[in-house]
Amino acid sequence: MDMAELKQFIFFDFEMKCDDRGMAYENMEAIRLGAVKYDLQTRRITSFDRFIQPATRDPLSPFCKNLTGIDDRDLETADPFPVVYSEFLFWTGGVKKSRFFSWSKSDLSRLKIDSHLHGLPAVTLEKIEKRYVDFQDIFSKGVSKVNLSVENALAIYGAAFEGEAHHPMYDSYNTLRVFLRYYSEPVTSDIEMARAFILNGEEIELATINERIKEVLTADIAELTDNLHFAYRMTNVKKLLKKVSKTVGKYDNILINRSGIFTEDILHLVHQLNAFNKNLLESFQEHLECSSRIMIIDDYSETTLKNLK
């Protein structure tokens, strides 16, 4: 998408039919759609909130009523999905100038399934999908390592959830708040990332974070070096590749360094670790193509790793 066209962010969330006894996902029709629109120029926030009358008119389960706060009476006079979807599109003011977000891809899946259920044209949905971002996925890969609730994500920044729980408009609004904190507070985001990915959750101060990361990184590199052999049977190489890849993945976010808090020596070590991994993968592929039974660790790869100790 041409970034020059981008004028607003749309955060949206569905509440769906549910039952604590279990329910097939395709049957969990949307019963409420909430969203907020964030104007990139004015920073003005506007909201959208509609109940949706499901195609299947079975009463909601007591569990669903309690969880969502939605009662059957709320749905009796509600419009069906096609009408609410049309109102939602009109409210956005233009799909092409929007980027769409939700906290987990399940909301996009719900949009697609219910659109198909009602035989709605796919063209607009395809445009939304091209402009869609699963922000929970971005947050877990870049900060928390695990999928957190919106409430717990806000807590990382010292903020509390605002509004009603399991209310899709408030869920959307608070997802926007996480998004804004994520980009406006990169130091907090990177400290939490280091805690989650590298330091096993230990508390760490900004003043000592680089020293502590270097200790752990050096220990991880030493473990790889001390267990590195001159040659491997090809059947055993995959274990080595998996171990190295896991170590590299542990430090990948360091290289993004959005906050600028990570020092040059740490960045250099991580770059070199990535170079070792790349050489190892290329060597494995070459040996594989030659139908080798034994893989020799080349001098460059071995020297690259040992120089990091």
* Averaged pLDDT of the chain: 92
The least confident of 41-45, 203-207, 229-233, 301-305 is 301-305
Contacts of 184 (CB under 8 A, 6+ apart): none
The full length of the chain comes to: 309
| Chain centre distance of CA 79 | 32
Burial status of residue 289 (CB atoms within 10 A of its CB: 0-12, 13-18, 19 or more): exposed
Of the candidates 90, 19, 18, the residue with the CA atom closest to the CA atom of residue 50:
90
Q: Give the pLDDT confidence score for residue 1 in this predicted structure.
A: 42
What's the mean pLDDT in 218-237?
86
Two tokens, residue 103: 């906290």
Interatomic CA distance for residues 96 and 1, integer angstroms: 8
For residue 3, name the pLDDT band (cuts at 50, 70, 90).
Answer: very low
Backbone phi, psi, residue 207, to 5°: -65, -25
For residue 307, name the pLDDT band (cuts at 50, 70, 90).
Answer: low
Write down the H helix ranges in 185-233.
186-197, 209-226
Interatomic CA distance for residues 160 and 157, integer angstroms: 9
What's the mean pLDDT in 144-168?
96
Interatomic CA distance for residues 77 and 51, integer angstroms: 9
Q: What is the pLDDT of residues 186-196, one digit of tens each?
A: 999 999 999 99
Backbone phi, psi, residue 52, to 5°: -130, 125
Q: Give the pLDDT confidence score for residue 295 in this predicted structure.
A: 86
Q: Is residue 299 scored above 80 in pLDDT?
A: no
| Model pTM score | 0.89
Three-state secondary structure call for residue 92 = helix
Q: Is residue 278 scored above 80 in pLDDT?
A: yes
Q: Give the pLDDT confidence score for residue 287 in this predicted structure.
A: 87
Contacts of 78 (CB under 8 A, 6+ apart): 50, 51, 52, 53, 84
| Under 8 Å between Cβ of 29 and 54 | yes
What's the mean pLDDT in 6-32?
93
What's the mean pLDDT in 90-103?
96
User: What percent of the chain is predicted at pLDDT more than 70?
Assistant: 95
Comparison of pLDDT for 41 and 233, the residue scoring more? 41
Backbone phi, psi, residue 10, to 5°: -115, 115
Of the candidates 237, 208, 225, 226, the residue with the CA atom closest to the CA atom of residue 269:
225
Q: What is the pLDDT of residues 255-269, one digit of tens each?
A: 999 999 999 999 999
Backbone phi, psi, residue 59, to 5°: -60, 145
Of the candidates 46, 64, 42, 63, the residue with the CA atom closest to the CA atom of residue 54:
64
For residue 234, name the pLDDT band (cuts at 50, 70, 90).
Answer: confident
Q: Give the pLDDT confidence score for residue 309 in this predicted structure.
A: 59
Interatomic CA distance for residues 173 and 177, integer angstroms: 6
Alpha-carbon torsion (241, 244, 247, 252), positive or negative: negative
